[in-house]
Amino acid sequence: MARPKVVLAFSGGLDTSFCLVHLREEKGMDVFTATVDTGGFTAVELAAIEKKALDLGAVKHQTLDGRALVYDEYVTTLIHGNVLRGGVYPLSVAAERAIQARLVVDLARQLHVTAIAHGCTVAGNDQFRFDVAFSVLAPELVVLAPVRDLGVSRKDEYDFLRKHGFPQEIRTRDYSINEGLWGTTIGGGETHDPWAGPPEAVLASDPEEIVIGFEEGLPVSLAGQKLSGLEIVRRLNERALHHSVGRGVHLGDTILGIKGRIFFEAPAPLILVQAHRELEKLVLTKTQQELKSPLGETYGRLLHEGLAFEPALEDIRAFLRSTQSRVTGEARVRLYRGSIWVVGVRSPYSLMNLEGVRYGETNTLLDGKEARGFGKVQALPSLLWRLAGKRAAAAPASATTHAKAKTPKSRRKTSRH
- Looking at the chain, which residues constitute the CATH 3.40.50.620 domain(s)? 5-176
Q: How far apart are CA 85 and CA 248, in angstroms?
A: 12
- Name the strand (E) or helix (H) holding 162: helix 154-163
Smallest Cα–Cα separation from 66: which of 308, 356, 238?
A: 308
Q: What is the chain's alpha carbon radius of gyration, rounded to the nearest angstrom? A: 29
β-bridge pairing 60-65 and 115-117: unpaired
Tally of residues, the chain: 417
Q: Tell me the pLDDT band of 202, cut-offs 50, 70 and 90.
A: very low
CA distance 294 to 301: 10
Intervals of CATH 3.90.1260.10 along the chain:
201-246+266-358
Task: Answer whether CATH 3.40.50.620 is correct for domain 5-176.
Answer: yes
> How far from 91 is each of 32, 153, 228, CA to CA, in Å?
29, 28, 21
pTM: predicted TM-score of the whole model, two decimal places? 0.77
Q: Which residues contact 266 (CB under 8 A, 6 or more apart)?
A: 89, 90, 92, 182, 183, 184, 246, 248
Q: What CA dihedral angle connects 302, 305, 307 and 313, to 10 degrees?
A: 10
State percent of the chain over pLDDT 90: 57
pLDDT tens digits for range 113-157 = 999 999 998 777 888 899 999 999 999 999 999 999 998 988 899
What's the pLDDT tens digit per position in 303-315? 999 999 999 999 9
Using CA atoms, how far residue 38 sits from 67, 71, 92, 180, 253, in Å, is 5, 9, 11, 6, 25
Q: Long-range contacts for 384-393 (Cβ within 8 Å, ≥24 apart)?
A: none
- Give the β-pairing of 30-37 and 60-65: parallel
pLDDT in tens, 214-237: 999 999 999 999 999 999 999 999
| H-helix or E-strand spanning residue 272 | helix 267-283
- Which phi-psi region, left, alpha or beta, contains residue 211 (left: φ > 0; alpha: ψ -120 to 50)? beta
**Contact, 99 vs 66, CB < 8 A?**
yes
Nearest to 95 by CA among 39, 41, 25: 39
Does residue 402 have a pLDDT over 80? no
Over 70: is that where the pLDDT of 415 sits? no
For 281-324, write each residue's pLDDT tens digit: 999 999 999 999 999 999 999 999 999 999 999 999 999 999 99
CA atoms within 13 A on the CB side of 372: 3
Q: Give me the sign of the Cα torsion angle 104, 106, 111, 116.
A: positive
Q: Could you tell me whether strands 115-117 and 5-9 are parallel, antiparallel, or unpaired per DSSP bridges?
A: parallel
**What mean pLDDT do residues 372-394 have?**
89
At 417, is the pLDDT very low, low, confident or very high (cuts 50, 70, 90)? very low
For residue 399, name the pLDDT band (cuts at 50, 70, 90).
Answer: very low
Bridge-based pairing of strands 339-346 and 329-336 is antiparallel
Vertex 80, ends 74 and 85: CA angle to 5°? 70
Average pLDDT estimate for 200-220: 81
Cβ contact 213:273 at 8 Å: no
- From the list 274, 253, 271, 273, the residue with the least C-alpha distance to 262 is 253
Beta strands 218-222 and 208-215, pairing class: antiparallel
Using the predicted structure, report yes or no on whether residue 199 has a pLDDT greater than 70.
no
In the CATH hierarchy, which top-level class contains the domain 201-246+266-358? alpha beta
pLDDT of residue 197: 54
The Cα–Cα gap between 159 and 129 comes to 29
Report how far residue 338's alpha carbon sits from residue 346's, in angstroms, rounded to the nearest whole number. 24
Q: What is the dihedral of CA 362, 367, 368, 369, to 10 degrees?
A: -170
